[in-house]
Amino acid sequence: MSELLSSYLAGSWFTATDEGRPVLDAVTGQEVCRVSAAGADLAGAVDYARSVGAPAIQALTFHERAAILKGVAKHLTAAKDGFYELSTRTGATRRDSAVDIDGGIGTVFSFASKATRELPNDTIVLDGKPEPLGKGGTFVGQHLYTSRPGVAVQINAFNFPVWGMLEKFAPAFLAGRPTIVKPATQTAYLTHAAVASMLDSGLLPDGALQLLCGSADGLLELLGTQDQVAFTGSAATAATLRQHPSVVHGGLELGVEADSLNCSILGPDVSVDDPEFELFVKGVVTEMTVKAGQKCTAIRRVIVPAERTDEVIAALSGRLSKITVGNPADDTVRMGALVSLDQRDEVRKSVQALRASADLVFGDPDHVTVVGASAANGAFMGPVLLRAHDGAVEPHEVEPFGPVATVISYSSVAEAVSLAARGGGSLAGSLVTHDPAVARQVVLGLAPWHGRILVLDRTDAAESTGHGSPLPTLVHGGPGRAGGGEELGGIRAVLHHMQRTAIQASPDALTAITGSWFSGAERTVSPEHPFRKSLATLRVGDAIVSDRRTVTGEDIAHFAEFTGDTFYAHTDPEAAAANPLFGGIVAHGYLVVSLAAGLFVEPNPGPVLANFGVDNLRFLTPVKVDDDIAVTLTVKAITPRSSADYGEVRWDAVVTNQRDEPVATYDVLTLVAKDH
Ligand code: NAP
């Protein structure tokens, strides 16, 4: 008997109390392992995640969590040969495995680096600017994100056992949420290998990642309002989960990535001789055959101008006839096996359903020539292309989760858009056109129905990542039938796991709560210039109030001549007088900012290493000749960098005139040494 796959629960490996269900090799039909969760202490696992995992992750800053993720991704990279070997048993070719394994690891690297660059070295995130709520400036609103005390249960589909696990784990971990991952039974052995490697790295805090191999029965009952279930799989299972009492009555958050009848549209402008025609055909064939079409983003509906339908079918058939099907370990094989014989039966059933309103124009769902393996034992199926009848219904309703697509004709751009919409909401759509007007009309028509849209033409083709590839930086998820969920999309995916709360308070209270200085809060002005302080002694609220300086006509004329910025408002008194906003010569905004720097600077070498920019610069009141200006500079936020001996300091800068009116406001960004 093969090995019974263990689960990792509450800090140790657990083996089920029964013999488990056998999982067969997709190519040879041999038993790979057995899977069961019988006897697993699910309540113990949930409690461990909440009481051990969540506090341990949440004790770390976003940058510390990101550094751990980076280390885990490196560890996985070193172990990936073993994953590739196992992946072949799922029916995947080397190219398919790269999407799953390297794609998954790349996603973790991407989240680690985005979090370091875009999140503070802190445990909370401020969302947007403060909202003044009273005229006196004593009552202010601020949105902020905090981590939740719950667990993320991730229930994954069989088709991406590594990527599916990692793309959900990385943002949850960054958000401070521990994960219990439940892989699909059919490919759980590959997820098991990846999770074991992540745990072996020794980098993850206890309780951050648990693995449940086998049934999740009874798990959702244990979850509540601070937990989340992220499900990827069939619409049927999604419907069951949506009706679960914990979801309906218990306030459990459920995210769904379900099936999707993605389409690719050929623009009416494209003729057979255009490069876009070849790009279109190539894209459809790639999406039909990568992972043997078992991709949630694969193209199921090929929507083409009626007058091009025959040419498209001929070109697709020509390319599909060159696809060798067989043992994915054989280098000549372009398409491996479906994941299981059951899955092949499902796809055959779907083809049968599609044939109610479409004709088979290429391939045979029941017979295929197989290279390097026995067609009788493996779950092989060749690519199948259908042509929809006018008014066909099934191609917009049936998802064949395999190497199957249906060509559908349209007679106007508006009809192409409405056909795409009949999918009821999709993960990804693509349009191949070189006509900007078509691009605008189709994309704006498609957007409400899609999570992601690729517009492909000769210009972006060489760099395009293709129709079917979800990217860590872009949203993955689609409305309606696709589940209505949203994953990935950079830091959005992290914030999905956190709670956004509007806090209403005084500037002093907000400063204390958030660790960032709010305008109107107390400042500390001391004899020691804050530029003399390293991060060891610099504090939020430390400030300098400068002396005043008169901005003379000579200053303005000199600045104009010196920089070449001789705009009339600074140089031509008559024209400036006629300007409705100025009514006379005014100082350049950049002169005001430069003079302000001269007023607040401490010029000697010290802990301040560099000024790397300004944010939110606004010129509020014109500075006229002989106005007096002064600047107040206050430490707003301090972000030490984990991997450097300096950090970022954000300073609030307010330049005022002699009437105390603000003339310019901005944030000055500096790099300051940790010690000096
Ligand atoms: P599935 O049968 O719905 O299974 C998905 C996951 O749900 C598996 O881990 C399965 O575990 C688990 N599950 C099944 N019944 C459950 C229940 N009652 N309670 C809790 N968990 C349960 O789907 P599949 O056949 O593996 O995947 C194919 C489908 O997934 C396709 O329709 C495809 O479009 C969709 N998909 C969508 C995306 C996306 O991102 N939108 C990505 C990939 C796939 P067991 O395996 O142990 O039964």
Can you tell me which atom of ligand 1 is nearest the CA of 157? 26
Same domain, 237 and 296: no
Please choose from 96, 220, 229, 232 the residue to mutate so as to test ligand 1's pocket, defined by most ligand atoms within 8 A of CB: 232
- Measured from CB, residues less than 6 Å from any atom of ligand 1 are 155-159, 182, 184-186, 215-216, 232-234, 237, 240-241, 257-260, 296, 399, 401, 427, 482-483
Q: How confident is the model at residue 608 (pLDDT cuts 50, 70, 90)?
A: very high
The 3-state DSSP class for residue 359 equals strand
Can you tell me which atom of ligand 1 is nearest the CA of 155? 9
Q: Is residue 11 part of a domain?
A: no
What's the pLDDT score for residue 569?
Answer: 97
Same domain, 362 and 307: yes
Query: Measuring from atom 23 of ligand 1, which residue has the nearest CA?
Result: 233
What is the mean predicted confidence (pLDDT) over 278-282?
A: 98
Please give the distance, rounded to the nearest whole angstrom, from the Cα atom of residue 261 to the centre of ligand 1. 16
| Contact (CB, 8 A) for 532 and 538 | no
Same domain, 241 and 326: no
Strands ordered across the beta sheet of 253-257: 12-14, 7-9, 209-211, 179-182, 152-155, 228-232, 253-257
Same domain, 304 and 211: no
Range of the domain at 384: 263-477
Report whether pLDDT(667) > 90.
yes
What's the pLDDT score for residue 642?
Answer: 80
Same domain, 200 and 330: no
What is the mean predicted confidence (pLDDT) over 485-501?
A: 94
Same domain, 276 and 336: yes
Query: Measuring from atom 20 of ligand 1, which residue has the nearest CA?
Result: 216
What's the pLDDT score for residue 643?
Answer: 80
Query: Measuring from atom 8 of ligand 1, which residue has the nearest CA?
Result: 184
Please give the distance, rounded to the nearest whole angstrom, from the Cα atom of residue 200 to the centre of ligand 1. 27
Query: Measuring from atom 9 of ligand 1, which residue has the nearest CA?
Result: 184
Same domain, 280 and 237: no
Can you tell me which atom of ligand 1 is nearest the CA of 160? 43
Same domain, 392 and 465: yes
Number of domains in the chain: 3
Q: Is residue 492 part of a domain?
A: no
Q: Could you identify the residue written with the tokens 């689960």? A: 7
Same domain, 206 and 275: no
Helices H, strands E: what count in the chain?
20, 30
> For position 622, which CATH number holds?
3.10.129.10
| Contact (CB, 8 A) for 447 and 453 | yes
Give me the chain's average pLDDT, please.
Answer: 96
Please give the distance, rounded to the nearest whole angstrom, from the Cα atom of residue 300 to the centre of ligand 1. 19
What's the pLDDT score for residue 112?
Answer: 98
Neighbour count for residue 613 (Cβ, 10 Å): 11
Which tens digits make up the pLDDT trace of 540-577?
999 999 999 999 999 999 999 999 999 999 999 999 99
Please give the distance, rounded to the nearest whole angstrom, from the Cα atom of residue 178 to the centre of ligand 1. 21
Which tens digits make up the pLDDT trace of 296-329?
999 999 999 999 999 999 999 999 999 999 999 9
What's the pLDDT score for residue 259?
Answer: 86
Q: Is residue 27 part of a domain?
A: no
Tokens of 648: 């970022």
What are the distances in angstroms from CA 528 to CA 231, 275, 492, 542, 617?
A: 56, 67, 41, 10, 27
CB under 8 Å to 42, separation ≥6 — which residues?
Answer: 9, 212, 218, 219, 222
Can you tell me which atom of ligand 1 is nearest the CA of 483? 41
Q: Is residue 201 part of a domain?
A: yes
Report whether pLDDT(61) > 80.
yes
What's the pLDDT score for residue 641?
Answer: 87
What is the mean predicted confidence (pLDDT) over 444-448?
A: 97
What's the pLDDT score for residue 376?
Answer: 87
| Contact (CB, 8 A) for 93 and 335 | yes
Please choose from 158, 242, 290 the residue to mutate so as to test ligand 1's pocket, defined by most ligand atoms within 8 A of CB: 158
Weakest-pLDDT range from 162-176, 190-204, 366-380: 366-380
Domain boundary among 477, 492, 511: 477
The 3-state DSSP class for residue 467 equals coil
Q: How many residues does the chain have?
A: 676
What is the mean predicted confidence (pLDDT) over 333-342?
A: 93
Of 209, 228, 210, the residue nearest 220 (C-alpha): 228
Report whether pLDDT(374) > 90.
no
Report whether pLDDT(498) > 90.
yes
Whether the model pTM is above 0.85: yes
- Composition of the chain by helix, strand, coil, percent to 5: 35, 25, 40
Please give the distance, rounded to the nearest whole angstrom, from the Cα atom of residue 483 to the centre of ligand 1. 12
| Contact (CB, 8 A) for 126 and 515 | no
Same domain, 273 and 158: no
Same domain, 285 and 415: yes
Q: How confident is the model at residue 506 (pLDDT cuts 50, 70, 90)?
A: very high
Tell me the catalytic residues. Answer: 257, 296
Query: Measuring from atom 43 of ligand 1, which residue has the nearest CA?
Result: 296
> For position 118, which CATH number holds?
3.40.605.10
Can you tell me which atom of ligand 1 is nearest the CA of 485? 41
What's the pLDDT score for residue 610?
Answer: 96
Q: How confident is the model at residue 204 (pLDDT cuts 50, 70, 90)?
A: very high
Strands annotated E in 347-445: 358-362, 370-371, 384-388, 404-410, 426-432
Please give the distance, rounded to the nearest whole angstrom, from the Cα atom of residue 235 to the centre of ligand 1. 8
Same domain, 204 and 290: no
Query: Measuring from atom 34 of ligand 1, which residue has the nearest CA?
Result: 259
> For position 268, which CATH number holds?
3.40.309.10
Can you tell me which atom of ligand 1 is nearest the CA of 216? 20
Please give the distance, rounded to the nearest whole angstrom, from the Cα atom of residue 232 to the centre of ligand 1. 5
Please give the distance, rounded to the nearest whole angstrom, from the Cα atom of residue 107 to the centre of ligand 1. 21
Domain boundary among 217, 234, 258: 258
Query: Measuring from atom 17 of ligand 1, which residue has the nearest CA?
Result: 237
Report whether pLDDT(676) > 80.
no
Which tens digits make up the pLDDT trace of 585-606?
999 999 999 999 999 999 999 9
Please give the distance, rounded to the nearest whole angstrom, from the Cα atom of residue 447 to the centre of ligand 1. 26
Please choose from 237, 340, 475 the residue to mutate so as to test ligand 1's pocket, defined by most ligand atoms within 8 A of CB: 237
What's the pLDDT score for residue 375?
Answer: 87
Can you tell me which atom of ligand 1 is nearest the CA of 482? 41
Please choose from 33, 35, 155 the residue to mutate so as to test ligand 1's pocket, defined by most ligand atoms within 8 A of CB: 155
